[in-house]
Structure 1
Amino acid sequence: MNPSPSDRTYPRRRSILKALAATPLLTACVTSGNDDQPAAQSGTKSAQNPLGVKEDAPLEVVIFKGGYGDDYAKKAEDLYKQRYPKATIDHKGIQKVGEALQPRFVANTPPDVVDNTGAGRLDLATLVGAKQLGDLSELLDAPSFEDPNTKVRDTLLPGVVEDGTFDKQVLTLNFTYTVWGVWYSKSLFASKGWTYPKTWDEMLALCATIKGAGIAPWTYQGKYPEYMNDPLLTMAAKTGGMDLVKAVDNLEPNAWKAEGLKGAAEAFAELAAKGYIMAGSEALSHTESQASWCQGKAAFIPCGSWLESEQKDITPKGFDMVMGAVPSRTGGDKLSGAAVQAASSESFLVPAKAKNVAGGLEYLRILFSKQSARSFAESAGTLPAVAGAADGLTLSSGLGSVRDAVTAAGKDAFTYRFRTWYAPLAKAVDDATGELINKRATAAEWAERIQKAADAVSKDSNVKKYTR
């Protein structure tokens, strides 16, 4: 996993999309439970209490206290207390979630709500297999906190429900929303009269101009070529549409040899062939490459929407970083030019063996309200998973551009899931892309290498398969 300034101050690619590959702090010793735990507490359902919360039932909330802190969670608890004043709330803000909670899951005495985030989080695959996670469908079908005529599921951004779905059950709900794109300095572009390109031909033409101005067109987080996968795979999805994305995730034969993927690989190979990637980028860490970019040594860098916050201490005043959507490669793309790769993170769950399941669900209904999400966006500088929560806010240049990108993409926000489902395949893609953009492999060799890895996963009977 990439190094991080904290356990998860601003989650990087693998920490977001490889939840199933997290450090397995829960092992086979976790069982599906016994009958010794107290009966779950519940009350009478009503229009004001759609989930049947017992008004005086205690609620225990465990929050990962990382880069976002835990004040946002406490504010949601305050709203819970306003609705249920007889309830006592036990709030725990911690960092090593897995270490603290593993014994409690083993003993079937888990908290009522868990923010399962950070480098030491609980392993979702084990929790799912042991049936330790409560089904969140009732929450999603309940009326939202602010609008009784709108279900909770209908307030969430694209992909959020699917991100928490395992074998057709929604078992986690992610609170933040990460978007991937290509970043540049708005002030630099304005001073040079450059316009962000909408097509790949425009990108190549602009790269020639940038190089002529004595600036490297691109750099990337060289030690972690997965960062360059994001624009490459986004371009492929735009060309081939969701049929291509699903074929890849479903391990379909020859999926990686599709024209959309080969074409995208050719496009990024051309960046390298024309000398448009900053010399020495391959040897740089994420912090080193991003620092070079902030220093004006390169015009473009691929990254997720955490970049602005991660760079806040070293970004020059007036740099005004913004994120653009990956340019389209063909005129016949199946997804719009505004399409972006996006996924939710900061995973919340209600344990199946919690004492106050109804209270846990109600807490999440409050946390995922527009009111709570809007407060989070203001304090954390990160886009929440609730649609429209950041609308109308005065945001920084980077976060504002991310919000605008999500709005422009609409239903064309998408994500691949193979990274979450199949860690060996994810590594094979990373390695192959590193070879591609450093001129040690052709696009055809890139596709062949990854297809072999996908076929190996497909044929391995020990690997649980998922479909979408």
Structure 2
Amino acid sequence: MSLSPENPGTAHTATPELNRRTVLKRASALGLLAVPAVGLLQACATGGGSTPQDQSTGGAKSADNPLGVDPSAALEVVIFSGGYGDTYATKYHVPLYEKAFPKAKVTESSTQDIQGTLQPRFTGGNPPDVVDNSGTKFMDFGALVGDDQLQDLTTLLDAPSVDDPNTKVRDTLVDGTVDVGTYNDKPYVLNYVFTVFGLWYNAKLFQSKGWTVPTTWADFTALMTKIKAAGITPYGYAGANAAYYQYYALLTSAAKIGGADILKNIDNLEDGAWTNDAVKQAAAAWAEVGKTFSDKSYLGLIHTQVQLKQDQDQLAVYPSGNWLENEMKDSTPASFNYAVMPIPSVTTSDKLDVSSLMAVAGEGFIVAAKGKNPKGGMEYLRRMLSKEGAKDFTTATGSLTSVNHASDGMQLSPGLSSSSDALSKAKTAFYFRFDQWYKDLDTECRAATNELFFQGGTADHFCQRMQAKADAIKKDSSITKFKR
């Protein structure tokens, strides 16, 4: 997912374990219960310097310009060019801003290497105004916050929404969206996309083979055995750049076994959080899957290479979020219908029901505090958060935003329909944040996961390795600490 100096503090975030009523409320708010139809998270950010002398001081506030943006000030936007591409920005969001401020020149660019492209600019005091800080090579959110590089988005969240001047922007968002982007009690990150994570498969293939979706680990491994016998790689992920897809699966299993507080304790760098029995059991279960039911060559492949194998029915089950369908739309044959299953229960005494899943607002957008036009950056986000902006994003990407009811009346593709169904049935939804808070812990977890899954690692070694890294970060006074 995703993703420092001293001054530890406490960030207030949403309760990690959400009851069924809240999950259903979210699903309904997102329009996830609509009738389906075919077609649907880093390195140190040190640097700084004073506020640029050429930074826009803004313009007159009005009903149409509540943030007081200078209508002629230029704006620069940089988008991560991953599963969502950047068409949603070039075709929809940039024009929305330009329509509101026709005298403003908006420059948009995209890259798959956010950190490599933009870290020198943040360090040098010349950052772009808006950044979709995502992908494998994202900038460290925690370090950016600790170095005062990010704009506090409170003004944006308290501003009137584009669609209803009597409703604040914050009140148009799905529950928990603001909290997930909050660091040390201040909102610095706008997580724009609502993601449901699980195990993806071809529903048409499963139907043709008579394979049923498993709910227990015994059923899961039995299915893996059947798939292997059919000459198809049962399970896999891309080790070269998407190991976090698999550690999401591992930590989902850990949360189901021991409860969502397992993830909260990991986030909070609690002593022994990674060596908890629930994490060990999850790691052991997935290590066996890697040993018995995957392909070691996947360690050297990138995500789209492995995903293409799945599109060609050479791979049956793949861990991912619901960005997957859109990312592969150009190579997905008519014989393939994306569907998602919750990760099966590992034990017969899991604390969370098998329906429970990882679901949270993601894809973090930031506004540079030391950019040339921070007010314009916040206004750009305000336009994105309009119903029009959110619907346009869903149209372009086949994915949902964190804007309430924005997808009402829209037709959903097979994959989005499946994820909506999974979310509506989930008794609990949960998430973690260490990947955004501590980049080095995310990096370590990717490497440790690859070792566990592809290179014969053990559950004990995985847990000890991760605990050692967490302990080192906890003891490092140069790293800003966060808590939930």
Q: Where on the TM-score scale, by shorter chain, does this alignment land: which range?
A: 0.7 to 0.9
Query: 1:131 aligns to what SS in structure 2?
Result: coil
- Give 2:278's match in structure 1, choosing from 240, 244, 260: 260
Q: Which residue of 2 aligns with 1:22?
A: 42
> Is the CA contact 2:196–2:321 (under 8 Å) kept in the aligned structure 1?
yes
Compute the TM-score of the two structures, normalised by the length of structure 2.
Answer: 0.77
Query: 2:482 aligns to what SS in structure 1?
Result: coil
Q: Provide the C-alpha distance between the structure 2 equivalents of 1:220 and 1:110, rounded to a whole number of angstroms.
A: 34
Q: Which residue of 2 aligns with 1:454?
A: 470
Q: Provide the C-alpha distance between the structure 1 equivalents of 2:211 and 2:205, rounded to a whole number of angstroms.
A: 8
Q: Provide the C-alpha distance between the structure 1 equivalents of 2:256 and 2:117, rounded to a whole number of angstroms.
A: 43
- Give 2:287's match in structure 1, choosing from 269, 274, 286: 269
Q: Note the C-alpha offset of 1:92.
A: 0.6
Q: Note the C-alpha offset of 1:58.
A: 2.5
Q: Provide the C-alpha distance between the structure 2 equivalents of 1:369 and 1:359, rounded to a whole number of angstroms.
A: 15
The CA deviation string for residues 178-216 of structure 1, in whole angstroms up to 9 with x for no partner, is 443211101001112222123323212322333343433
- State the number of aligned residues: 442
> Is the CA contact 1:62–1:92 (under 8 Å) kept in the aligned structure 2?
yes
Aligned: 1:364 with 2:384:
no
Q: Note the C-alpha offset of 1:401.
A: 2.7
Compute the TM-score of the two structures, normalised by the length of structure 1.
Answer: 0.80
Q: Provide the C-alpha distance between the structure 1 equivalents of 2:92 and 2:283, rounded to a whole number of angstroms.
A: 46
Q: Which residue of 1 aligns with 2:215?
A: 198
Q: What amino acid is the match of 1:242? A: A
Aligned: 1:93 with 2:108:
yes
Unaligned 5+ runs, structure 1: 1-15
Query: 2:192 aligns to what SS in structure 1?
Result: strand
The CA deviation string for residues 408-439 of structure 1, in whole angstroms up to 9 with x for no partner, is 448x4432222223333333333333333347
- With over 3 angstroms needed to count, the CA separation of the structure-2 counterparts of 1:391 and 1:326, relative to structure 1, is farther
Q: What RMSD over aligned residues (CA atoms) do the two structures have, in Å?
A: 3.6
Q: Note the C-alpha offset of 1:258.
A: 1.7
Q: Note the C-alpha offset of 1:119.
A: 8.0
Q: What amino acid is the match of 2:104? A: I
User: Which has the higher mean CA deviation after the structures are superposed, 119-128 or 305-314?
Assistant: 119-128
- Give 1:135's match in structure 2, choosing from 152, 159, 183: 152
Q: Which residue of 1 aligns with 2:25?
A: none
Q: Which residue of 2 aligns with 1:177?
A: 194
- Give 1:241's match in structure 2, choosing from 218, 237, 259: 259
> Is the CA contact 1:32–1:130 (under 8 Å) kept in the aligned structure 2?
no
User: Which has the higher mean CA deviation after the structures are superposed, 68-77 or 454-463?
Assistant: 68-77
Q: Which residue of 2 aligns with 1:426?
A: 442
> Is the CA contact 1:77–1:89 (under 8 Å) kept in the aligned structure 2?
no
User: Which has the higher mean CA deviation after the structures are superposed, 440-449 or 188-197?
Assistant: 440-449
Q: Which residue of 1 aligns with 2:459?
A: 443
Q: What amino acid is the match of 1:90? A: K
Q: Provide the C-alpha distance between the structure 2 equivalents of 1:119 and 1:464, rounded to a whole number of angstroms.
A: 21
Aligned: 1:307 with 2:330:
no
> Is the CA contact 2:191–2:364 (under 8 Å) kept in the aligned structure 1?
yes
Between 1 and 2, higher relative CO (CA 8 Å, sep ≥ 6) is seen in 2
Q: Note the C-alpha offset of 1:123.
A: 6.0
Query: 2:281 aligns to what SS in structure 1?
Result: helix
Q: Note the C-alpha offset of 1:291.
A: 2.8
> Is the CA contact 2:78–2:128 (under 8 Å) kept in the aligned structure 1?
no
Q: Which residue of 1 aligns with 2:481?
A: 465
Aligned: 1:401 with 2:418:
yes
Q: Provide the C-alpha distance between the structure 2 equivalents of 1:184 and 1:57, rounded to a whole number of angstroms.
A: 48
Counting aligned pairs with the same residue, the percent is: 40
Q: Note the C-alpha offset of 1:327.
A: 1.8
Q: Which residue of 1 aligns with 2:338?
A: 321
Query: 2:260 aligns to what SS in structure 1?
Result: helix
Aligned: 1:60 with 2:74:
yes
